[in-house]
């Protein structure tokens, strides 16, 4: 399980009181009972923790799909940051 997947999972279980056994990577946020406002709120919580901006994520997105999105954005950030940070 990727770090992003773990982070999403822990945010869901800690914040929304979901049963950890139910929060598996293939589940979508809709499956887990979140509504669109809760999903945006969760995105802001993840942004606070990672600095990665998450906008317009559909409710039908699964945990692993969101994790992949986060990992891709994280990689982009690293690429952009490299010329400066590597000096």
Partner 1 sequence: MPGQCREVAVTGLGVISPAGIGARATWDGLLTGRSTAARDPELAGLPVDISCRVPDFDTAALVGRKAAWRLDRFVAMALLAARHAVADAGLDPTDWDPARVGVVMGTGTGSMERYVGEFAKLAAGRPLDISPLAITRSVPNMAAAEIALDLTVTGPNFAVSTACASGSSALGIARDLLRSGTCDIVLAGGAESARHPIPAACFHRMGALSTRTADPAGACRPFDAARDGFVLSEGAAVLVLERPAHAQARGARPRAHLVGYGASCDAYHYAAPDPDGRGAAAALTAALADAGAVPGDIDHINAHGTGTRRNDLAEAKALHSVFPAPPAVTSLKGALGHAIGAAGAIEAAVTVMSLQRDTVPPTVNHEDTDLDIDLDIVAKVPRTTAQSAAASLSIGFGGQNAALVFRSA
Residues making contact with partner 1 (CB under 8 A): 14-17, 37-38, 40-41, 44, 47, 53, 55
For residues 63 and 8, is the Cβ–Cβ distance under 8 A? Answer: yes
The H or E element spanning position 6 is helix 3-16
CB of 24 to partner 1, least distance (A): 19
Nearer to partner 1, 41 or 74 (CB): 41
In Å, what is the CA distance from 11 to each residue of 50, 56, 64? 12, 18, 14
CB of 52 to partner 1, least distance (A): 12
CB of 87 to partner 1, least distance (A): 27
């Amino acid at each position: 399980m990727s770090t992003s997947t773990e982070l999403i999972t822990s945010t869901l279980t800690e914040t929304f009181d979901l049963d950890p056994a139910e929060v598996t990577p293939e589940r979508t946020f809709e499956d887990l009972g979140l509504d669109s406002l809760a999903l945006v709120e969760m995105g802001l919580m993840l942004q606070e923790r990672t600095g990665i901006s998450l906008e317009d994520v559909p409710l039908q997105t699964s945990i692993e799909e969101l994790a992949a999105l986060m990992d891709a954005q994280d990689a982009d950030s690293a690429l952009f940051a490299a010329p400066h940070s590597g000096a």
